[in-house]
């Protein structure tokens, strides 16, 4: 058996195209474009790249965007004042505070200060609570992207046994709620789970979101299962790369380590997944591409909900 590769690119492009059409319709009918305000603090290189991609996607779709870049030594009060100002502005529909924030900033209080109606990351306790109760809400982008991959790849959720490895507030917990909403039977596993392979090997849908490179191996995967790899890990050791890649892919990853010092590896061993799973999301090129697309979709949803369109 060779797994069907579930590429995130065509799905992300389809979602962005649909969202662009929606933005055009809103502008024609109501005379405005949804607006996303992105806040970045400090000079973290990864954060700069992530925010840049989000601003670029907004421009591509037709969403108005603002990029508020604050110095690393900004005070808690100054950052809070910016968030509160964005909350009060009627022309701003979505607020994104890029994480991580510098150590002297209390992330929790900043995220909780965002107006839930503008919380396009879906992290505010109000949105988390609404999701758990099955109410309409703004949903975290990565879990929402996983659901889109499953649905648009014709992988049945209803009646399936879905096993999630990882219980984070950003991925594992909200994804469990979404899968339950889709009538899956959901099992959550984590670092304290005993005999993990005995549980994961029962899954029709196996989601890995634990932050450990290549951790999920053949023993964890039921023959024919859909394996969704949410992990993004940097591997700089060539021997570690040899454990999870082979052939041309291994040569490409070794070259990346030589040139850039590291390569991106998911939480799933791709050699084992391709050989045993029925479908598999690659890293990179899988779930990660959906996150930005779902952020754009959330921004438009927030604009419509706020204005009761």
Q: What is the DSSP string of 70-125?
A: E-TT--HHHHHHHHHHHHH-TT--EEEEPSPPPTTS-HHHHHHHS-GGGBTT--SH
Nearest to 35 by CA among 49, 23, 17: 23
Q: Establish if 238 belongs to a structural domain.
A: no
Same domain flag for 108 and 225 = no
Q: Establish if 309 belongs to a structural domain.
A: no
Per-residue DSSP letter, 287:
T
Q: What pLDDT is stored for residue 245 in this prediction?
A: 87
Same domain flag for 195 and 272 = yes
DSSP-derived 3-state class of residue 57: helix
Same domain flag for 90 and 166 = no
Same domain flag for 182 and 271 = yes
Q: What pLDDT is stored for residue 249 in this prediction?
A: 86
What CATH number is given to the structural domain containing 277? 3.40.50.720
Same domain flag for 157 and 201 = yes
Reply yes or no on whether the pLDDT at 6 is more than 90. Answer: yes
Q: For the segment 256-287, what is each residue's pLDDT rounded down to a tens digit?
A: 899 999 999 999 999 999 999 999 999 999 99
Q: What pLDDT is stored for residue 222 in this prediction?
A: 97
Chain Cα centroid distance, residue 8: 12
Q: What pLDDT is stored for residue 250 in this prediction?
A: 87
Q: Establish if 306 belongs to a structural domain.
A: no
Q: What pLDDT is stored for residue 80 in this prediction?
A: 97
Same domain flag for 108 and 146 = no
Q: Establish if 147 belongs to a structural domain.
A: yes
Last residue of a domain, one of 97, 115, 133: 115
Same domain flag for 224 and 156 = yes
What number of other Cβ atoms are within 10 A of residue 57's Cβ?
20
The count of C-alpha atoms lying within 13 angstroms of the C-alpha of 164, restricted to the half-sphere facing its C-beta, is 25
The two structure tokens encoding residue 258? 């030589």
Considering 16, 54, 276, 297, which one is annotated as catalytic? 54
The pLDDT confidence band at residue 150, using thresholds 50, 70 and 90, is very high
What CATH number is given to the structural domain containing 108? 3.40.50.10860
Domain span including residue 276? 141-231+266-290
Torsion-angle region of 199 (φ positive above 0: left; ψ -120 to 50: alpha; else: beta): alpha
The pLDDT confidence band at residue 1, using thresholds 50, 70 and 90, is low
Q: Establish if 254 belongs to a structural domain.
A: no
Rounded CA separation 263/284 (Å): 10
Q: Establish if 272 belongs to a structural domain.
A: yes
Average pLDDT of the chain is 95
DSSP-derived 3-state class of residue 168: coil
Q: What pLDDT is stored for residue 2 in this prediction?
A: 84
Same domain flag for 107 and 216 = no
Q: What is the pTM of this model?
A: 0.94
Q: What pLDDT is stored for residue 180 in this prediction?
A: 97
Same domain flag for 83 and 200 = no
Q: Establish if 47 belongs to a structural domain.
A: yes
Reply yes or no on whether the pLDDT at 101 is more than 80. Answer: yes
Task: Quote the percentage of the chain above a pLDDT of 90.
Answer: 88
Q: Is 281 within 8 Å of 228 (Cβ atoms)? A: yes
DSSP-derived 3-state class of residue 271: helix
Same domain flag for 89 and 165 = no
Average pLDDT over residues 32-59: 92
Same domain flag for 53 and 172 = no
Considering 119, 121, 267, 272, which one is annotated as catalytic? 121
- Beta-carbon contacts of 108 under 8 Å, excluding residues fewer than 6 positions away, are none
Rounded CA separation 188/63 (Å): 36
Same domain flag for 276 and 158 = yes
Considering 16, 98, 276, 297, which one is annotated as catalytic? 98
DSSP-derived 3-state class of residue 188: strand
Rounded CA separation 141/135 (Å): 17
Q: What pLDDT is stored for residue 239 in this prediction?
A: 86
Q: b/e string for 191-208 if b means 16 or more Cβ within 10 A?
A: eeeeebeebbbebbbbbb
Q: Establish if 248 belongs to a structural domain.
A: no
Q: In Å, what is the CA distance from 219 to each residue of 187, 250, 257, 279?
A: 17, 22, 28, 16
Q: For the segment 227-236, what is each residue's pLDDT rounded down to a tens digit?
A: 999 999 988 8
Known catalytic membership, residue 121 = yes
Known catalytic membership, residue 202 = no
Count: domains in the chain: 2
Q: In Å, what is the CA distance from 151 to each residue of 65, 90, 146?
A: 29, 34, 9
Average pLDDT over residues 111-122: 97
């Amino acid at each position: 058996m060779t797994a069907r590769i579930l590429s995130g690119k065509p799905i992300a492009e389809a979602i962005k195209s649909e969202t662009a059409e929606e933005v055009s319709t809103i502008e024609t009918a109501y005379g405005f474009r949804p607006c996303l305000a992105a806040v970045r603090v400090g000079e973290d290189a990864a954060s700069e790249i992530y925010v840049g991609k989000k601003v670029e996607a907004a421009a591509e779709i037709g969403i108005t965007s603002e990029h508020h870049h604050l110095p690393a030594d900004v005070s808690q009060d100054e950052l809070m004042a910016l968030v509160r100002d964005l909350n009060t502005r009627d022309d701003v529909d979505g607020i994104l505070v890029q994480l991580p924030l510098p150590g002297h900033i209390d992330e929790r209080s900043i995220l909780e200060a965002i107006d839930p109606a503008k919380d396009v990351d879906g992290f505010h306790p109000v949105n988390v609570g609404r999701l758990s109760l099955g109410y309409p809400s703004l949903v975290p982008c990565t879990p929402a992207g996983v659901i889109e991959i499953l649905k648009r790849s014709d992988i049945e959720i209803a009646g399936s046994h879905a096993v999630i490895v990882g219980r984070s507030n950003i991925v594992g917990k909200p994804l469990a709620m979404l899968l339950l909403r889709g009538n899956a039977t959901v099992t959550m596993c984590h670092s304290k789970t005993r005999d993990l392979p005995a549980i994961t090997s029962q899954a029709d849908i196996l989601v890995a979101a634990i932050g450990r490179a290549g951790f999920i191996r053949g023993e964890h995967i039921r023959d024919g299962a859909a394996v969704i790899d949410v992990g993004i890990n940097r591997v700089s050791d060539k021997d570690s790369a040899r454990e999870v890649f082979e052939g041309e892919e291994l040569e490409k990853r070794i070259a990346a380590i030589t040139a850039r010092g590291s390569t991106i590896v998911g939480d799933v061993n791709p050699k084992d997944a391709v050989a045993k799973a029925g479908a598999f999301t690659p890293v990179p090129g899988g779930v990660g591409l959906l996150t930005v697309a779902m952020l754009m979709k959330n921004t438009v949803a927030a604009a419509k909900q706020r204005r009761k369109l």
